Structure 1
Amino acid sequence: MNKIVYPLLLVLLSVSCSSESPDPPPSPIETLYFPPQTSDIWETKSIADLGWKQTAVQPLLDYLALKNSKGFIILVNGRIVLENYFNGHSASAVWYWASAGKTLTATMTGIAKDQGLLNINNKVSDYLGTGWTSAPLAKENLITCKNLLAMNSGLNDGLGDNVSPANLQYVSDSGTRWAYHNVYVKLQDVVAKASGQSWTNYFNTQLRDKIGMTGGAWIPSGEGLSVYWSTTRNMARFGLMTLNKGKWDGTTIVSETYFNQATTTSQNINLSYGYLWWLNGKESYHLPGSQLQFKGSLIPTGPNDMFMALGKNDQKIYVIPSKKMVVIRMGDAANPSNPTFGLSGFDEELWTKISALYQ
């Protein structure tokens, strides 16, 4: 009896085990995509492929059009999910970055640092000589390159955009006061001196050409300042490089060590500011033109790990590492009656519309 039963049990167990469906293979992790450097070919990803809500797309686009937008792109894993142009703008048209371009200067400073050309902890006068401000010499010599990156130079931010020495006046010792100030542009002079090249040439060869930002250019805007102009896709290329912590398709543009420092709180006054990058999800923040501290996150409707390049009249680069996502917005001021230097109520409203795509 036992000799018959045991073989039957073994057969039954074998059949039972073999009839079970095998565990499905794990979903492949989608690699980060980089468009070619020398062409405008760009892979896409559909809303359906991502499992996002198609019904949330049109309300977002209607809102962008209403709010004077010109170009808008969402990338996920480097692929274009949405790309739209409004109000007569086009994919080939250029537009200004305004203060969103500060992050280009931060990146170039990091590149020069990586190449051993400068030390951000050195005083600015090591590179520009003394007298680049009208501060007393002892106070001027306290100001380091890092202070310009962190916006805590101690210079008076209430004297307008001009960065001539007469307009760069002492208010407090560097490191003791956070104030949004165009003095950061002196870093471009530092990089030029340290590299022995013009700012434009060093920028083009070390960043622009390496990531395919073809056609972009620095345009003088008066008072010692230049503003970067490019297509919306060029801005998206820069955002994609920053999503990948300073690398472009395996090539290091700026070191990850520096990039992590740039996108981390840089001083203990404005927790929401790195090296010319704005940081979401912090406990408090300061705004341009104010010494007040506000509690909470910069953009409560946006992801907490988001870091941002924010420019006048709502030029935006949002980078969200947790979602492998980059969002670009170019255009005129969303609310012309209340234009800002960067952050505005538009950010909160826009992120309510964007997050509706995937929530």
Structure 2
Amino acid sequence: MAEKLLIRALKGGKSTKIVTLNGKNMTKMPSMLEKLPGLKTLDLQNNRIPKVCPEISTLTQLTALNLGNNLLEEVPEEMKYLTSLKKLHLFGNKIHRFASGVCDGLQNLILLNLNNNQITWIPQEISRLKSLTYLSINHNQLASIPRELCFLENLSELQLNYNQLICIPKEINFLKKLQKLLLVRNNIESLPEGLCDLLNLRILDIAGNVIQIFPPGFQDLKLREFYCEGNPLFLKQPVNAVKHEDIWSLQEITSRFIMNQLAEKDPFLMQAVEWYPQVRNIISQGRKCAICGKSFLTTWLECVEFFPPSKNWKISRNLQLVPLRILICSYKCFNQRDPNLFGIAQV
């Protein structure tokens, strides 16, 4: 049957735009595809193809390629010649290698589906897929994602469900057009503060991770859907605690003095610090106290504030309060806190 369909397609020559060989029990890609230079859509899903044939590099007008549910073990470099490709489906294979050179030619790619494979890493060259708007890598073995992925400025949907991720790059704030982020069933411990800069984010699903608290500004996201069941979120269960005295290191004391003087535009320090790049690097890591607004470096009190989820959010069942991470510079400020602000108990 597959041979008859190919012969029919070949008779069409350059006028053949679509070839569908779905579920034909094929064990290799037909090399005669090179005789169809005008091909736009090639559907070879649900076969037993273990390797992409070299002749695929001739299909420079191809816009959609579906090789889902085959036996591929890599995303081969030959695909970089598919310069017109917009949709690439490689789900349900055995892919464990992603050739970095692939990204060089796929400048028009809009959709990339790599679900249900064995991928453990993504090359940093993925940042070259400048047109990509949809990326799905569900059910793989990713332990991390490269920061370069966050430079896909047109990305609107990112799915990374069922991997082994423990963190998300802080550069996620560069994904300004991101509307949907799915991170279900990973090992993520915390979300970066940059997530709160995603003004277009509408759907966030982090169910089944190990997140306890959310970054400052999370409550201002304009979400429509938010799911977080299966995370050990902090609960509002106040207990009395022993109050301690503030004990700071000499570096902390010095850093606080310099940062706060710089905030007041001290001309002497502003000029002097330019001569000490190491000092500039240290104080660049400073944060501001949520109570007094003054800067601190590495010594702080981690607190939690609970806020009710927005009425505009479609949320997980039984989610009544969302814990928000708040940093305070001293016990003095802690004693001046709002009644709804709590220290985090170590149990």
Q: TM-score, normalised by structure 2?
A: 0.21
Greater CA radius of gyration, 1 or 2? 2
Q: TM-score, normalised by structure 1?
A: 0.20
Task: Between the two structures, name the one with larger relative contact order (CA 8 Å, sep ≥ 6).
Answer: 1
Name whichever structure is richer in helix by fraction.
Answer: 1
